[in-house]
Protein backbone atom coordinates (compact mmCIF):
# COMPACT_ATOMS: atom_id res chain seq x y z
CA UNK A 1 0.00 0.00 0.00
CA UNK A 2 1.46 3.41 -0.99
CA UNK A 3 1.62 6.35 1.38
CA UNK A 4 -1.39 8.10 -0.11
CA UNK A 5 -3.59 5.02 0.16
CA UNK A 6 -2.38 4.40 3.71
CA UNK A 7 -3.11 7.99 4.72
CA UNK A 8 -6.60 7.75 3.20
CA UNK A 9 -7.29 4.47 5.00
CA UNK A 10 -6.20 5.99 8.32
CA UNK A 11 -8.40 9.00 7.67
CA UNK A 12 -11.45 6.83 6.97
CA UNK A 13 -10.77 4.74 10.09
CA UNK A 14 -10.47 7.83 12.28
CA UNK A 15 -13.56 9.34 10.71
CA UNK A 16 -15.67 6.27 11.45
CA UNK A 17 -14.25 5.96 14.95
CA UNK A 18 -15.55 9.45 15.75
CA UNK A 19 -18.69 9.45 13.62
CA UNK A 20 -21.80 10.73 15.34
CA UNK A 21 -24.51 8.25 16.29
CA UNK A 22 -28.10 9.12 15.39
CA UNK A 23 -31.26 7.16 16.15
CA UNK A 24 -34.95 8.01 16.21
CA UNK A 25 -36.65 7.68 19.60
CA UNK A 26 -40.24 6.60 20.25
CA UNK A 27 -41.59 10.14 19.83
CA UNK A 28 -40.07 10.42 16.36
CA UNK A 29 -37.30 12.76 17.50
CA UNK A 30 -33.72 12.24 16.35
CA UNK A 31 -31.19 11.70 19.14
CA UNK A 32 -27.59 12.34 18.13
CA UNK A 33 -24.50 11.59 20.21
CA UNK A 34 -20.90 12.41 19.22
CA UNK A 35 -19.81 9.00 20.56
CA UNK A 36 -21.37 6.05 22.43
CA UNK A 37 -22.82 7.15 25.77
CA UNK A 38 -20.74 6.26 28.82
CA UNK A 39 -22.91 7.59 31.66
CA UNK A 40 -26.63 6.86 31.38
CA UNK A 41 -29.51 7.67 33.71
CA UNK A 42 -32.73 5.64 33.51
CA UNK A 43 -36.04 7.31 34.34
CA UNK A 44 -38.27 4.20 34.32
CA UNK A 45 -37.98 0.63 35.62
CA UNK A 46 -38.62 -0.83 32.15
CA UNK A 47 -35.85 1.39 30.77
CA UNK A 48 -33.42 0.02 33.34
CA UNK A 49 -34.27 -3.52 32.22
CA UNK A 50 -33.79 -2.56 28.57
CA UNK A 51 -30.40 -0.97 29.26
CA UNK A 52 -29.08 -4.02 31.09
CA UNK A 53 -30.45 -6.38 28.44
CA UNK A 54 -28.75 -4.25 25.78
CA UNK A 55 -25.41 -4.84 27.49
CA UNK A 56 -25.09 -1.38 29.03
CA UNK A 57 -25.49 -2.20 32.72
CA UNK A 58 -21.99 -0.96 33.55
CA UNK A 59 -22.84 2.41 32.03
CA UNK A 60 -26.01 3.04 34.05
CA UNK A 61 -25.12 5.54 36.79
CA UNK A 62 -28.59 6.28 38.17
CA UNK A 63 -32.19 5.10 38.03
CA UNK A 64 -35.63 5.85 39.45
CA UNK A 65 -37.32 3.90 42.23
CA UNK A 66 -38.54 0.36 41.50
CA UNK A 67 -35.67 -0.23 39.10
CA UNK A 68 -35.13 -3.65 40.62
CA UNK A 69 -34.20 -5.91 37.72
CA UNK A 70 -31.70 -7.34 37.16
CA UNK A 71 -30.80 -7.61 40.89
CA UNK A 72 -27.67 -5.44 40.52
CA UNK A 73 -29.91 -2.55 39.47
CA UNK A 74 -31.12 -2.33 43.08
CA UNK A 75 -27.75 -0.83 44.00
CA UNK A 76 -27.97 2.09 41.57
CA UNK A 77 -28.22 5.63 42.98
CA UNK A 78 -31.85 6.78 42.99
CA UNK A 79 -32.89 9.92 41.14
CA UNK A 80 -36.58 10.12 42.06
CA UNK A 81 -39.65 8.24 40.89
CA UNK A 82 -42.43 8.51 38.31
CA UNK A 83 -43.99 11.43 40.23
CA UNK A 84 -40.95 13.62 40.79
CA UNK A 85 -37.31 13.61 39.71
CA UNK A 86 -34.30 14.76 41.72
CA UNK A 87 -32.85 17.08 39.11
CA UNK A 88 -29.84 18.05 41.22
CA UNK A 89 -28.92 14.41 41.70
CA UNK A 90 -29.29 13.72 38.00
CA UNK A 91 -27.05 16.63 37.02
CA UNK A 92 -24.48 15.64 39.65
CA UNK A 93 -24.19 12.20 38.02
CA UNK A 94 -23.00 13.93 34.81
CA UNK A 95 -24.96 11.78 32.35
CA UNK A 96 -24.26 11.99 28.64
CA UNK A 97 -27.64 10.33 27.95
CA UNK A 98 -30.94 10.14 29.83
CA UNK A 99 -33.52 7.56 28.79
CA UNK A 100 -36.99 8.85 29.59
CA UNK A 101 -40.49 7.45 29.97
CA UNK A 102 -42.67 10.44 29.11
CA UNK A 103 -45.91 9.16 30.66
CA UNK A 104 -44.20 8.54 33.96
CA UNK A 105 -42.22 11.76 34.38
CA UNK A 106 -43.40 15.33 34.87
CA UNK A 107 -43.14 17.25 31.59
CA UNK A 108 -41.90 20.41 33.32
CA UNK A 109 -38.94 18.56 34.80
CA UNK A 110 -38.15 16.93 31.48
CA UNK A 111 -38.15 20.40 29.90
CA UNK A 112 -35.61 21.49 32.52
CA UNK A 113 -33.34 18.60 31.60
CA UNK A 114 -33.67 19.47 27.93
CA UNK A 115 -32.67 23.06 28.70
CA UNK A 116 -29.44 21.69 30.19
CA UNK A 117 -28.64 20.18 26.76
CA UNK A 118 -28.45 16.63 28.10
CA UNK A 119 -29.52 14.25 25.29
CA UNK A 120 -32.89 12.64 26.01
CA UNK A 121 -34.09 9.40 24.44
CA UNK A 122 -37.82 8.80 24.95
CA UNK A 123 -38.73 5.14 25.46
CA UNK A 124 -42.42 4.50 24.76
CA UNK A 125 -42.81 0.94 23.37
CA UNK A 126 -46.46 0.35 22.43
CA UNK A 127 -46.25 -3.01 20.69
CA UNK A 128 -44.47 -6.25 21.48
CA UNK A 129 -42.16 -5.83 18.49
CA UNK A 130 -41.12 -2.40 19.79
CA UNK A 131 -39.18 -4.02 22.63
CA UNK A 132 -36.71 -5.56 20.19
CA UNK A 133 -36.44 -2.28 18.28
CA UNK A 134 -35.71 -0.47 21.55
CA UNK A 135 -32.91 -2.90 22.38
CA UNK A 136 -31.32 -2.33 18.99
CA UNK A 137 -31.50 1.46 19.22
CA UNK A 138 -30.13 1.57 22.76
CA UNK A 139 -27.31 -0.71 21.68
CA UNK A 140 -26.40 1.78 18.97
CA UNK A 141 -26.43 4.73 21.38
CA UNK A 142 -24.35 2.87 23.96
CA UNK A 143 -21.90 1.10 21.68
CA UNK A 144 -23.14 -2.34 22.74
CA UNK A 145 -24.84 -3.40 19.51
CA UNK A 146 -23.46 -6.93 19.57
CA UNK A 147 -25.13 -7.74 22.90
CA UNK A 148 -28.24 -5.69 22.16
CA UNK A 149 -28.83 -7.29 18.76
CA UNK A 150 -28.44 -10.77 20.24
CA UNK A 151 -30.95 -9.93 22.99
CA UNK A 152 -33.37 -8.52 20.40
CA UNK A 153 -33.10 -11.68 18.29
CA UNK A 154 -33.70 -13.94 21.30
CA UNK A 155 -36.72 -11.87 22.32
CA UNK A 156 -38.18 -11.96 18.81
CA UNK A 157 -37.73 -15.73 18.76
CA UNK A 158 -39.59 -16.10 22.07
CA UNK A 159 -42.49 -13.97 20.85
CA UNK A 160 -42.64 -15.73 17.47
CA UNK A 161 -42.82 -19.11 19.19
CA UNK A 162 -45.79 -17.99 21.29
CA UNK A 163 -47.49 -16.42 18.28
CA UNK A 164 -47.14 -19.58 16.23
CA UNK A 165 -48.48 -21.73 19.04
CA UNK A 166 -51.37 -19.66 20.36
CA UNK A 167 -52.46 -16.75 18.13
CA UNK A 168 -54.74 -18.92 15.98
CA UNK A 169 -56.28 -20.86 18.85
CA UNK A 170 -60.05 -20.48 19.47
CA UNK A 171 -60.51 -16.94 20.83
CA UNK A 172 -61.00 -16.26 24.54
CA UNK A 173 -62.70 -13.02 25.65
CA UNK A 174 -60.61 -11.36 28.36
CA UNK A 175 -61.13 -8.61 30.92
CA UNK A 176 -57.74 -7.33 32.07
CA UNK A 177 -58.16 -5.69 35.48
CA UNK A 178 -55.60 -3.04 36.34
CA UNK A 179 -57.23 -1.81 39.53
CA UNK A 180 -60.35 -2.57 41.52
CA UNK A 181 -61.25 0.73 43.22
CA UNK A 182 -62.08 2.33 40.86
CA UNK A 183 -62.33 -0.52 38.39
CA UNK A 184 -59.77 0.12 35.63
CA UNK A 185 -58.61 -1.73 32.54
CA UNK A 186 -56.40 -1.22 29.44
CA UNK A 187 -57.56 -0.46 25.92
CA UNK A 188 -56.44 -1.97 22.62
CA UNK A 189 -53.50 0.42 22.21
CA UNK A 190 -51.71 -0.90 25.28
CA UNK A 191 -49.03 -3.57 24.95
CA UNK A 192 -51.00 -5.89 27.24
CA UNK A 193 -53.66 -6.03 24.51
CA UNK A 194 -50.88 -7.15 22.17
CA UNK A 195 -50.13 -9.94 24.63
CA UNK A 196 -53.79 -10.95 24.84
CA UNK A 197 -54.04 -11.11 21.03
CA UNK A 198 -50.74 -13.01 20.81
CA UNK A 199 -52.34 -15.67 22.98
CA UNK A 200 -55.50 -15.90 20.91
CA UNK A 201 -57.46 -13.71 23.28
CA UNK A 202 -59.76 -10.72 22.76
CA UNK A 203 -59.69 -7.68 25.04
CA UNK A 204 -63.38 -6.95 25.71
CA UNK A 205 -62.62 -3.24 26.29
CA UNK A 206 -60.14 -2.74 23.45
CA UNK A 207 -62.25 0.01 21.89
CA UNK A 208 -62.42 2.30 24.92
CA UNK A 209 -60.49 5.52 25.52
CA UNK A 210 -58.18 6.57 27.14
CA UNK A 211 -55.30 4.11 27.39
CA UNK A 212 -56.32 3.18 30.96
CA UNK A 213 -60.11 3.59 31.07
CA UNK A 214 -62.35 3.30 34.10
CA UNK A 215 -65.23 0.85 33.69
CA UNK A 216 -68.22 -0.18 35.77
CA UNK A 217 -69.00 -3.56 37.24
CA UNK A 218 -72.14 -3.53 35.11
CA UNK A 219 -70.03 -3.10 31.96
CA UNK A 220 -67.91 -6.12 32.88
CA UNK A 221 -71.00 -8.20 33.57
CA UNK A 222 -72.48 -7.14 30.22
CA UNK A 223 -69.24 -8.05 28.40
CA UNK A 224 -69.29 -11.43 30.20
CA UNK A 225 -65.59 -12.26 29.66
CA UNK A 226 -64.51 -15.86 29.60
CA UNK A 227 -61.39 -15.00 31.60
CA UNK A 228 -60.42 -12.24 34.03
CA UNK A 229 -56.71 -11.51 34.35
CA UNK A 230 -54.92 -9.15 36.71
CA UNK A 231 -51.38 -8.34 37.74
CA UNK A 232 -50.12 -8.98 41.25
CA UNK A 233 -46.72 -8.65 42.95
CA UNK A 234 -45.00 -11.94 42.28
CA UNK A 235 -48.40 -13.59 41.71
CA UNK A 236 -47.33 -16.30 44.15
CA UNK A 237 -50.66 -16.71 45.95
CA UNK A 238 -53.49 -18.82 44.51
CA UNK A 239 -55.41 -16.55 42.18
CA UNK A 240 -58.71 -17.04 43.98
CA UNK A 241 -57.28 -15.60 47.22
CA UNK A 242 -56.41 -12.25 45.60
CA UNK A 243 -59.02 -9.72 46.78
CA UNK A 244 -59.25 -8.01 43.39
CA UNK A 245 -60.22 -11.33 41.80
CA UNK A 246 -62.15 -12.94 44.64
CA UNK A 247 -64.78 -10.19 44.63
CA UNK A 248 -66.00 -11.41 41.24
CA UNK A 249 -67.31 -14.58 42.90
CA UNK A 250 -70.30 -12.51 43.95
CA UNK A 251 -71.48 -13.02 40.34
CA UNK A 252 -71.41 -16.80 39.84
CA UNK A 253 -73.17 -16.55 36.47
CA UNK A 254 -70.23 -14.60 35.02
CA UNK A 255 -68.53 -17.02 32.63
CA UNK A 256 -65.05 -16.32 34.04
CA UNK A 257 -66.32 -17.16 37.52
CA UNK A 258 -68.45 -20.13 36.49
CA UNK A 259 -65.44 -21.70 34.76
CA UNK A 260 -62.96 -20.64 37.48
CA UNK A 261 -60.95 -18.59 34.99
CA UNK A 262 -59.54 -15.96 37.37
CA UNK A 263 -55.83 -15.53 36.73
CA UNK A 264 -52.99 -13.42 38.15
CA UNK A 265 -49.64 -12.72 36.51
CA UNK A 266 -46.55 -11.14 38.06
CA UNK A 267 -46.98 -7.43 37.32
CA UNK A 268 -43.28 -6.93 36.60
CA UNK A 269 -43.52 -9.51 33.81
CA UNK A 270 -46.69 -8.27 32.14
CA UNK A 271 -46.74 -4.49 32.69
CA UNK A 272 -43.16 -3.50 31.86
CA UNK A 273 -42.39 -3.12 28.13
CA UNK A 274 -39.05 -4.90 28.42
CA UNK A 275 -37.72 -8.35 27.40
CA UNK A 276 -39.29 -10.13 30.39
CA UNK A 277 -42.73 -9.40 28.96
CA UNK A 278 -42.12 -12.54 26.89
CA UNK A 279 -42.29 -14.47 30.18
CA UNK A 280 -45.51 -12.71 31.15
CA UNK A 281 -46.92 -13.45 27.71
CA UNK A 282 -46.08 -17.13 28.12
CA UNK A 283 -48.03 -17.24 31.37
CA UNK A 284 -50.95 -15.36 29.79
CA UNK A 285 -51.02 -17.87 26.92
CA UNK A 286 -50.94 -20.81 29.31
CA UNK A 287 -53.76 -19.27 31.39
CA UNK A 288 -55.96 -18.74 28.33
CA UNK A 289 -55.28 -22.29 27.25
CA UNK A 290 -56.54 -23.42 30.67
CA UNK A 291 -59.68 -21.35 30.02
CA UNK A 292 -60.20 -23.17 26.72
CA UNK A 293 -59.84 -26.53 28.46
CA UNK A 294 -62.56 -25.60 30.95
CA UNK A 295 -65.21 -24.85 28.35
CA UNK A 296 -68.46 -26.67 28.66
CA UNK A 297 -69.29 -28.99 25.76
CA UNK A 298 -70.53 -26.95 22.83
CA UNK A 299 -69.25 -23.63 24.22
CA UNK A 300 -67.22 -21.32 22.00
Q: Which pLDDT tens digit goes with each residue over 271-296? A: 999 999 999 999 999 999 999 999 98
CATH number of this structure's domain 167-293: 3.40.50.1980
Judge whether 54 and 146 are in contact, CB under 8 Å: no
CATH number (2.60.40.420, 3.40.50.1980, 3.60.21.10, 2.60.40.10) of 17-152 reads: 3.40.50.1980
Q: From CA 210, how far away is CA 281, in angstroms rounded? A: 23
Mean of the per-residue pLDDT values for the chain? 90
Q: Domain boundaries in the chain?
A: 17-152, 167-293
pLDDT attached to residue 299: 61
Q: Which pLDDT tens digit goes with each residue over 197-244? A: 999 999 999 999 999 999 999 999 999 999 999 998 764 444 555 767
Q: From CA 41, how far away is CA 32, in angstroms rounded? A: 16
Nearest one of 47, 41, 46 to 62, comparing CA atoms: 41
Same fold, 17-152 and 167-293: yes
Amino acid sequence: MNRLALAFALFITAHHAHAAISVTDDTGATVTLPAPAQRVVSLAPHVTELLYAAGAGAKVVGAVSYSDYPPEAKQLPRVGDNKALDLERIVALKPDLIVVWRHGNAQRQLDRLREMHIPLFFSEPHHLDDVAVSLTKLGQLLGTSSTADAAAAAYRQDIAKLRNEYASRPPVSVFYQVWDQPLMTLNGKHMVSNVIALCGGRNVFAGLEPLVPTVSTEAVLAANPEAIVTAAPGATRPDTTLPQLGTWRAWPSLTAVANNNLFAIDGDLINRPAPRIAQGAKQMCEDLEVARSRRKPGAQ
